[in-house]
Structure 1
Amino acid sequence: MKTELLELREWPVFTDLADTQASVAEYFYYYNHKRRHSSIGYLKPYLFHQQQLDNIT
């Protein structure tokens, strides 16, 4: 999050608490639903999680 979000923004990084919350929520969505992770076979974490749940049942 530090290098992908915070270092790209101008100072002050966030204007207020609402901006902070929205930015963090947006980053978490990107990280879990769009960004591919090498440690799980270049899948998106959400997809990987869904596959694991499907394998349980």
Structure 2
Amino acid sequence: MLELREGPVFTDLADAQQSVAEYVDCYNHGRVHSSLEYQTPYRTHQQLLQPTALNCPA
């Protein structure tokens, strides 16, 4: 993660892309949000995609 790095933040573009991808993954899959009833954004999104959540017939 960025806060653990010393010296230059990124060595090259691939390093920057990997760091951003890791952050986004952590944010969406590992961090719970109080506004989402303490669920991750990914879990909330998956629940919204369920047919019953959308009030659609199966």
* TM-based fold match above 0.5: yes
Give secondary structure in 1 for the equivalent of 2:19: helix
Aligned residue-pair number: 53
Which one has the largest radius of gyration? 2
1:1-57 deviations in Å (ceiling 9; x for gaps): xxxx43332121111100000010011111101111111111010000111111013
Structure 2 segments unaligned to the other structure (5+ residues): none
Give aligned-pair identity as a percent.
62
CA RMSD of aligned residues (A): 1.3
**Higher helix proportion, which one?**
1
CA distance in 2, matches of 1:13, 1:39: 32
Q: 2:2 aligns with which of 2, 6, 16?
A: 6
User: Which AA in structure 1 matches 2:12?
Assistant: D
Q: Which residue of 1 aligns with 2:19?
A: 23
Structure 1 segments unaligned to the other structure (5+ residues): none
Q: Which residue of 2 aligns with 1:38?
A: 34
